[in-house]
Each structure stands twice: as C-alpha cells, then as structure tokens.
Structure 1
Amino acid sequence: MKRFDLEERLIDFAANVILFTNYVEKNYAGNHLTGQIIRSSTSPALNYGEAQSAESNRDFVHKMGICLKELRETNNCLKIIERANLNSNQKMLDQLKVEANELISIFVASIKTAKKNAEKNK
C-alpha cells in the first residue's frame, strides 16, 4: 500500500465517522460518545502525517502507536454505540467497524515491521 493511499483512507475513515455521528441519538450518552469518537477517529489521520515526518525510527514507531491507540479507541466507541442501541444506521456502523479493524491490522503490521527493521540496523 502506498503511503498516500493509507493517508487518504484515514481521512476518509475520519470523515465517514463524522457523517455517522448524524445517526447517533442526541441524548447524554449519544452526545458524549459522538464527541469522543470524532476526536479519536480524526486523530489517526493527523498523527499519521506526523509519523511521515518522524525524526527517527523510534519517533516513527511512537507516532504510529498513537494512531493505533486512537483507532482502537474508535473501534471500542463504535461497539459501545452499537451495544447501547444508540444508532439508526446499522449498515454504516458495520462498514466503519470493518474499516477500523482493517486499519488496526495495517498499523499493527507497520509497527511490527518498523521495530524489526530497527533491530536489524542496530
């Protein structure tokens, strides 16, 4: 996967989560989770750009780790919204869960590869 493909995918994911929040109930829990999921889903796109400008392999791994952490948080928010029956667009929710899991897998593999490469270059 090309670097810009992943960047675009992260931007699309964040935008789609923002659009999805229109289908989350407007009550105390829904508003709380909407704010949280917007923050956590936009963070990976922003931090991925930072990772591309990392000053070292260690810095790259750290910034990619932040992306991974935020993707996992987003995934958990999606699950909470689903289990609490706070959404009215199950199809969109299912698509976001699939994309979140795929992005998590990509970041796990990238971090693992970066760590392995760092060990080789010691």
Structure 2
Amino acid sequence: MKENIIKNKSFAFALRIVKFYQFFTESKREYVLSKQLLRSATSVGAMVRESEHAESKADFIHKLSIGLKEANESEYWLELLYQSNYIDEKHYKSLTKDLSEILKLLISILKKLRNK
C-alpha cells in the first residue's frame, strides 16, 4: 500500500498543535486564541481522514476542500498569535513551515482532481 503523505503530515501537525496547546495554556495562560488554533489545526487531519471514506469523488473533493479551509484558518491563528507576541519567531516559523507543506499538498491534490 502506498504511503499517504497528506494523512501522515496532517496528523503529525495536529499532534504538534495539541502538544503546543497544552504547553501554551499552562505557560502563557492564554485560552481563547490558542483554542481556535487547536480546533482548526486538528480539523485539517480529521477532514483528510473523512475523505478516505468519501461516498463519491465530489464528496472526496468537498472534504479535502474543507480541510484546506481549516488549514488556511490555522495559518491565520498562528500569525495572530505570533504578531501579538504570544509565540516566538522560532516556533512560528517551524509551525508555519509544516502548515505550508500541508497547504501545498492539499492545493495540489484538489487541482489535480478538479482537472480530471
């Protein structure tokens, strides 16, 4: 069976965000913005997983499109946390690098599917 890169990367990213959220709430005592990031970032992987059992090609595209929207929203929350000085540049760059890879993969997959 072929390795599912988007599935693996989106899960690894979600796991990083869960751990980041745990640390963040304990050390910074910030709960609102970080919870928004937690919700959107973990939703990316959830939508990728849901797409594995899509009922049709349209359903598959729809689920991955929602995952893309959630990834884009995650990028927003990360930038907001960074610009408001809740996270440092090192962590911001590391997380956005991972997220950028996921965004590129989702965009590529969706472009190929829509062009068929």
How far apart in 2 are the matches of 1:79 and 1:92?
11
When normalised by structure 2's length, the TM-score is 0.88
1:20 aligns with 20
Q: Residues 116 and 3 from structure 1, CA distance in 2 versus in 1: closer, same or farther, beyond 3 angstroms?
A: farther
User: Would the aligned equivalents of 1:20 and 1:93 in 2 still touch at CA under 8 Å?
Assistant: no
How far apart in 2 are the matches of 1:114 and 1:78?
29
Residue 93 of structure 1 and its aligned partner are, at CA, apart by 2.1
2:98 aligns with 99
- Structure 1 runs (4+) greater than 4 angstroms displaced: none
How far apart in 2 are the matches of 1:105 and 1:8?
14
User: Would the aligned equivalents of 2:24 and 2:34 in 1 still touch at CA under 8 Å?
Assistant: no
How far apart in 2 are the matches of 1:71 and 1:99?
11
1:51 aligns with 2:51: yes
Aligned 1:1-122 pairs, distance under 5 A: 2-21=2-21, 22-23=23-24, 25-26=28-29, 30-87=30-87, 89-117=88-116
Task: Write out per-residue CA displacement over residues 32-85 of structure 1, whole angstroms, 9 at most, x where no aligned residue.
Answer: 111111110111111111111111111111000000000001011000000000
User: Would the aligned equivalents of 1:10 and 1:45 in 2 still touch at CA under 8 Å?
Assistant: yes
How far apart in 2 are the matches of 1:100 and 1:57?
25
Residue 96 of structure 1 and its aligned partner are, at CA, apart by 0.6
- Alignment RMSD (CA, Å): 1.5
How far apart in 1 are the matches of 2:52 and 2:9?
15
1:120 aligns with none
Unaligned regions of 5+ residues in structure 1, if any? 118-122
Aligned residue pairs total 112
Unaligned regions of 5+ residues in structure 2, if any? none
Give identity over the alignment, percent.
26
The letter of the residue matching 1:86 is Y
Structure 2 counterpart SS, 1:53:
coil
How far apart in 2 are the matches of 1:116 and 1:83?
37
Larger CA Rg, structure 1 vs 2: 1
Residue 17 of structure 1 and its aligned partner are, at CA, apart by 1.2
